Amino acid sequence: MASRDLAARRSGIFSRSTIVPVFSHVRRNERPGSWFCGLTKKPSTNVLSLCRQPHGHLSDASVLLADIPGSFTGEQGALPNVGSLRGFDVIANIKAQVEAICKQTVSCADILAVAARDSVVALGGPSWTVPLGRRDSTTASQTLANNDLPPPFFNLTDLISAFGNKGFTATDMVALSGAHTIGQSQCLNFRDHIYNDTNINPGFASSLKANCPRPTGSGDSNLAPLDTSTPYAFDNAYYTNLLSQKGLLHSDQELFNGGSTDNTVRNFASSKAAFSSAFAAAMVKMANLSPLTGSQGQIRLTCSKVN
Ligand code: HEM
């Protein structure tokens, strides 16, 4: 049995041969080159940002559950997520199309995992086989999200330990951070780095200050690209930026700051192939973090709420 089929077979409810044609159908329905989210035109509609956290919400789609005032508080309002998560509409749209042709069979967790992979491919990054057959959580925890999401002020030791707690190696962590080859950050998340850190290229810092004023509360949500060289391509420029101290977040530059991950950054900067294969392997690992299978959880009808 191919390993990619394992989760689906374990569930005993449906198989990969059911799901793959469903996804193919959805792809055919979308405009060529822009299916899932038109990432190339509007990179902030970013499905990949939904898989930033290492605590496993990619594997059970808990992050997609919206708050219900008075009765349910999910992860979307967790402090590190505020203003950062995008792409919910994209997932909702795919889910609607999938449900129309195959009722309550394909989980939101599987849709999220496939959408993340296809977003990367659409921007020129690597592809990988997404194991299918996860089921969706019926709960979400803002407390867990608050505690588990690595904030941008983490140092290298903190980052290695946050990802290590979930079974990722330091190399996995450096590779996954390469997702910052696309997307943007709000000023409030990089202000400290550009004004207070010394391990930043001075010209780069000045160019960012123009759109990110020093006083807290001023221009907090102004955006800057995480990859200053090629913000719309999924390539390894994120790492070459780090070599010249052009990481946007404090946590980005921590990966190349005289510590134990310097050589990994050098390796990924010099070889897109090395980055691509490490990124793909780590994404498979992330999508497989304690997936719900069998009779666990449910197949949500609408990704933003439990059935
Ligand atoms: C290593 C620890 C990480 C930290 C500290 C971190 C932190 C951040 C922060 C602060 C932002 C900007 C959010 C905003 O200002 O709205 C961001 C954006 C983003 N992150 Fe991460 N992140 C990490 C790892 C990851 C991983 C593992 C992925 C995916 C595999 C990822 C994917 C993204 C994407 C795609 C964006 C851009 C979102 C957009 O433009 O809409 N990050 N991250």
Domain CATH number, residue 243: 1.10.420.10
Q: Is the pLDDT of residue 16 over 50?
A: no
Q: Which amino acid is at 141?
A: S
User: Helix (H, G, I), strand (E, B), or coil: what is residue 72?
Assistant: strand
Q: Is the pLDDT of residue 50 over 60?
A: no
| 228 touches 182 (CB < 8 A) | no
Domain residue limits at 220: 156-281
Give yes or no for residue 189 CB within 6 A of ligand 1. yes
- Helix boundaries (H) for 102-221: 108-122, 142-148, 156-164, 170-177, 187-196, 202-209
Examine residue 49 and state whether it is found in any structural domain, yes or no.
yes
Task: Give 3's DSSP letter.
Answer: G
Q: What is the pLDDT of residue 161?
A: 93
Task: Give 184's DSSP letter.
Answer: E
Residues 218 and 112 both lie in one domain: no
Which segments within the chain are labelled E, that is strand?
184-186, 223-225
Residues 137 and 216 both lie in one domain: no
Domain CATH number, residue 136: 1.10.520
Examine residue 288 and state whether it is found in any structural domain, yes or no.
no
Question: Percentage of the chain surpassing pLDDT 70?
Answer: 68
Give yes or no for residue 180 CB within 6 A of ligand 1. yes
Residues 182 and 53 both lie in one domain: no
Residue 180 alpha carbon to ligand 1 centre in Å? 6
| Residue 230 labelled as part of a binding site | yes
Residues 39 and 120 both lie in one domain: yes
Of the three residues 127, 150, 173, the one that is the final residue of a domain is: 150
Within 13 Å of residue 282, how many CA atoms lie on the same side as its CB? 26
Candidates 55, 57, 84: which one to mutate for ligand 1, based on the most atoms within 8 Å of Cβ? 84
Percent of the chain as helix, strand, coil, to the nearest 5:
50, 5, 45
Q: And the tokens for 269?
A: 């900067």
Q: Which residue has the tokens 């199309």?
A: 97
Q: Which residue would you say has higher pLDDT here, 297 or 15? A: 297
Residues 175 and 225 both lie in one domain: yes
Residues 171 and 141 both lie in one domain: no
| 3 touches 281 (CB < 8 A) | no
Residue 185 alpha carbon to ligand 1 centre in Å? 8
Q: Nearest-CA neighbor of 162 among 279, 251, 46, 239?
A: 251
Residues 169 and 258 both lie in one domain: yes
Residues 250 and 128 both lie in one domain: no
Examine residue 70 and state whether it is found in any structural domain, yes or no.
yes
User: Any idea which of 34-48, 141-155, 176-190 has the lowest mean pLDDT?
Assistant: 34-48
Q: What is the pLDDT of residue 286?
A: 82
Q: pLDDT tens digits, residue range 253-265?
A: 999 999 999 999 9
Candidates 39, 40, 49, 223: which one to mutate for ligand 1, based on the most atoms within 8 Å of Cβ? 49
| 271 touches 175 (CB < 8 A) | no
User: Any idea which of 79-83, 114-118, 231-235 has the lowest mean pLDDT?
Assistant: 79-83
β-bridge mates for residue 62, sequence order: none
